Amino acid sequence: MNWHAVRAIYGFEMARTWRTVMQSIVSPVLSTSLYFVVFGAAIGSRIPQVGGVSYGAFIVPGLVMLSLLTQSVSNASFGIYFPRFSGTIYELLSAPVSAIETVLAYVGAAASKSVILGLIILATASLFVPLHVEHPGWMLLFLVLTAATFSLVGFIIGLWADSFEKLQVVPLLVITPLTFLGGSFYSIDMLPPFWQSVALFNPVVYLVSGFRWSFYGQADVGVALSLGMTAVFLVAALCIVAWIFRTGYRLKA
């Protein structure tokens, strides 16, 4: 394993975050804070508790997950797309850097940014609503696994896209709607039976449910199932990335 190459790529990607801190950190935190103000304070005061938890506190895990998913995809997709756009990807492909090292560096940097952002949003949320993390270890595990999984998804999108517009298609038309419909702002137990069954086909339900359980000890689906589904998504994304590097899809064309 060429750790020097991994550190170099990882350091470059992380340095880009600090150069664009307003866009990478401040903007997502401010956008999420508006949700806390509107839903947590204004609307939440008029909604009864959900499972014994105030509505403002109930939506915190969903909002963190919303930011985590979108930022993981965005960071990873742009990180690998820009070298393809500028042509520097060929320097990387000709360097003594393996596919595993490349993915580890780019995905690791994107996941690190997303985890940092998620923790900042959690700290910000505590200023607006009372927070209690019942299982902090499990909370960090779900945070890291979800960030890594969707950073891999973003990496795939960055290789697939051939324009800046395509980089936004999947996050805007797929990831964000699935997150909003995945129980971020409500429990799926509040839905009619038919729509509860439909909601179980939404993969984000399992991520939000497991993450919310780590806070309040309540979940829409079993914690073991949430963890298992997260692992399945991670393995599926790894398999796709492995296929891309094995075939050279979008890398050498």
pLDDT of the chain, 253 residues: tens digit per residue:
778 888 888 888 888 778 777 777 888 888 887 877 777 666 666 777 777 788 878 888 888 988 888 889 888 888 888 887 777 777 777 777 787 888 888 899 999 999 999 999 888 888 877 788 889 999 999 999 999 999 999 988 988 888 877 888 878 888 888 888 888 888 888 888 888 888 888 888 999 999 999 998 888 888 899 999 889 999 999 899 888 878 777 665 5
Residue 213: predicted pLDDT: 92
Tokens 């960055």 map to which residue?
Answer: 158
Residue partners of 198: CB distance under 8 A and separation at least 6: none
- Amino acid sitting at position 28: P
Q: What pTM was estimated for this model as a whole?
A: 0.87
Tokens 């105030």 map to which residue?
Answer: 54
Short-list 244, 5, 19, CA closest to 105: 5
Residue 78: predicted pLDDT: 86
What DSSP designation does 40 have? Answer: I
Residue 251: predicted pLDDT: 65
Q: Is 102 left (phi over 0), alpha (psi -120 to 50) or beta?
A: alpha
- Amino acid sitting at position 211: F
Residue 43: predicted pLDDT: 67
* Cα atoms found within 13 Å of the Cα of residue 113, Cβ hemisphere only: 36
Residue 174: predicted pLDDT: 84
Is-contact 154 81, C-beta < 8 A? no
Count Cβ atoms within 10 A of the Cβ of residue 82 and give its class: 0-12 exposed, 13-18 middle, 19 or more buried. Answer: middle
- The Cα–Cα gap between 146 and 149 comes to 5
Other residues' Cβ atoms within 10 Å of the Cβ of residue 252: 9
Residue 172: predicted pLDDT: 82
Short-list 106, 103, 77, CA closest to 169: 77
